[in-house]
Amino acid sequence: MGVMRGLTRLDAVVLPRLARGARRIGRFTRRSPGGSLTAFAVGLAVIVSGVLVVQSMGHRRPIQPDQSAWVGVTNGELIVNYLAESRDRLAQLTATAPDRPVYALVSFTDYLTPDEVTSLVRMAVATTGADSSGQLTTVYAKARVQVPHRQTTVVTLSANKIPDDLVATMLGTADAKDAEAAQDEAANRPGGPDLDGAALARTEAAAYRNRCACIFALIVRGVPASLNRLAAQKYTRVVDPAPQVVNPAPNVTAYVPPLPEQSDRMTSPVDSPDPTGTP
């Protein structure tokens, strides 16, 4: 439970606050007579503090100082290239090391609920027969709440035992999001956080508490045969094997799957205007 709380705290509370802080710095420097110099000074302080490793939406994040591997797509990369290269890596691993269990990043074609993820994995495991070496081990999942035109936090969910761990980490994330919203609401004063961020956090909390269809990737471990069976499942977009990974912990290995809606080039999602004019 300590690990799940730690993941929830990092992804759901600390990172969004740092992102909001950066936006407030921008508003301050635009109002300040020495805006350019002030922006440079504040920006330098932020860099020294290590804020550049923040994963508010996750897809620009460089490897942190204590991370040793990157698995997934890089910012600006063509999605079609990443998918083809991942399939090639799995095919090569199948041919050269069929008995070697490795970690892999599984990207989905859609956002799934904990129960849907569990069914997908069980379907793959059900075809392994009596050979236990072909079983899949689930480790972590990646999730985010879909809110039109809004950037939401990518969170890491524990997945050692599914769906129980997925649900437990979702509930922990919901609690953290509610706490974040309460702090924003309490600090609502001139020059302080606006209630828009609090409302978004409440929306995310409610979604996770209701076991939302929010999961878009899974980190697993298995032999190539198991990974191929998983790749053949209905909602699997691609399985990217990572034989270089020794420790799958998120603070050691960076996992960056493409979002289901991204089909052209990998970019970092940002808040966008609502074309209907709804605030």
- Phi, psi angles (nearest 5°) of residue 239: -115, 120
> Domain for residue 39, yes or no?
yes
> Domain for residue 266, yes or no?
no
pLDDT digits (tens, 9 = 90+) for 201-210: 999 999 999 9
* Residues contacting 180, CB < 8 A, separation 6+: 12, 13, 16, 17, 198, 201
Our measurement of the distance from residue 37's CA atom to the centroid of its chain's CA atoms, rounded to an integer in Å, reads: 34
* Per-residue pLDDT, 119: 95
Domain carrying residue 138 = 2-256
Number of domains in the chain: 1
> Domain for residue 115, yes or no?
yes
> Domain for residue 51, yes or no?
yes
When pLDDT is averaged across residues 187-193 and rounded to a whole number, the result is 59
* Per-residue pLDDT, 127: 52
* Residues contacting 54, CB < 8 A, separation 6+: 15, 18, 19, 61
pLDDT digits (tens, 9 = 90+) for 78-118: 999 999 999 999 999 999 999 999 999 999 999 999 999 99
Three-state SS annotation for 10-69: HHHHHHHHHHHHHHHHHHHHHHCCCHHHHHHHHHHHHHHCCHHHCCCCCCCCCCCCCCCE
Three-state SS annotation for 156-213: EEECCCCCHHHHHHHHHHHHHHHHHHHHHHHCCCCCCCCHHHHHHHHHHHHHHHCCCC
> Which residues make beta-bridge pairs with 104?
220, 241
* Per-residue pLDDT, 267: 66
13-27, 47-61, 117-131, 176-190: which range is least confident on average? 47-61
* Per-residue pLDDT, 43: 42
231-234, Cβ contacts within 8 angstroms, sequence gap of 24 or more? 231/87, 231/90, 231/106, 232/124, 233/120, 233/123, 233/124, 234/120
> Domain for residue 154, yes or no?
yes
**Residue in 261, 157, 196, 186 with CA at minimum distance from that of residue 16:** 196
> Domain for residue 211, yes or no?
yes
> Domain for residue 273, yes or no?
no
> Domain for residue 208, yes or no?
yes
- Phi, psi angles (nearest 5°) of residue 221: -140, 135
* Per-residue pLDDT, 136: 84
Confidence bin at 187 (pLDDT 50/70/90):
confident
**In angstroms, what CA-CA distances link 111 with 72, 98, 214, 218, 259?**
17, 30, 5, 11, 9
pTM over 0.75: no
49-53, 161-165, 207-211, 264-268: which range is least confident on average? 49-53
When pLDDT is averaged across residues 233-258 and rounded to a whole number, the result is 93
